[in-house]
Amino acid sequence: MVDVAIFADTMGEPERVYEWLDWLEGKLSYPVHRISFGDLRAKVMEAAKGNIRAFTAPFYTLNPETGKKSILRRQCTNHYKIQPIVKEVRKLLGLKKGEKRKKGTHVEMIMGISTDEASRMKTNRIKYITNVYPLIDKGMNRQDCKDWMLKYDYPVPPRSSCTFCPFNSNQMWQSIKNNKEEWEKVVEMDLAIRSQTTNSRLIEYELYLHHDCKPISEIDFNKRGDERQLDLFNNECEGMCGV
């Protein structure tokens, strides 16, 4: 039995994700708690302008002298997904800041990861929280989930991830590009983060949203060879987003 669903909102999801969540809330027998650490896009843009300390999302870096590519440390999942969800769990348990849980308290956290994303399964770092994976237990992959939704005449849910997430596949980038307003914001951020190199002592090289380390407005998302980008999402992004 599920007591509550928690949606940690980065305020950077595609519009269709919020529309689908609105629909879902009307179908569930339990409440959905929408929580947020803040506007992730706004934070990145402020850092790019030098107004706040540089924020290290997993942007790709390029050394223009050597051509070497790398990737920055990922903070966004922890700050904007994991910590807010844990904070909400503690709130639901009636725990105040710094207060220890009562002996015997245990939480099962259901994670919607399918068999084709099995590499994203993690053991929760908090001892009294156990991550459970019902789709894995049932042997269901992403297509199985879509087929189940269609069988019962439900809309197929869109993938949840920030519109500007560097782990987006080329297919996801193309989908975002089809939304003019969302795409303009992505292009704006891609340009802005390269100015962050001049405003931060922590970042030395040019920053990009796409692993090709080119302005995202110049990328052909229909080209072949996108497997590396898909692997990055499954291997690096934890089960708090993208399911």
Q: What is the mean pLDDT of the chain?
A: 88
Better pLDDT: 238 or 10: 10
Tokens of 6: 């928690």
pLDDT digits (tens, 9 = 90+) for 87-105: 999 999 999 998 999 899 9
What is the Cα–Cα distance from 162 to 14, expressed in whole angstroms? 7
What is the Cα–Cα distance from 42 to 165, expressed in whole angstroms? 14
Give the type of residue at 216.
I
Average pLDDT (221-228) is 64
Over 90: is that where the pLDDT of 235 sits? no
108 membership: H or E segment, kind and range = strand 107-110
Q: What is the pLDDT of residue 52?
A: 78
Over 70: is that where the pLDDT of 76 sits? yes
Q: What are phi and psi of 193, to 5 degrees?
A: -70, -20
What is the Cα–Cα distance from 206 to 220, expressed in whole angstroms? 20
Q: What is the pLDDT of residue 73?
A: 83
| Predicted structure pTM score | 0.85
Other CB atoms within 10 A of residue 190 CB: 22
Percent of the chain with pLDDT over 90: 68
Over 70: is that where the pLDDT of 239 sits? no
Q: Show me where the domains of the chain are located.
A: 5-236
Percent of the chain with pLDDT over 70: 87
Average pLDDT (149-177) is 94
Q: What is the pLDDT of residue 113?
A: 93
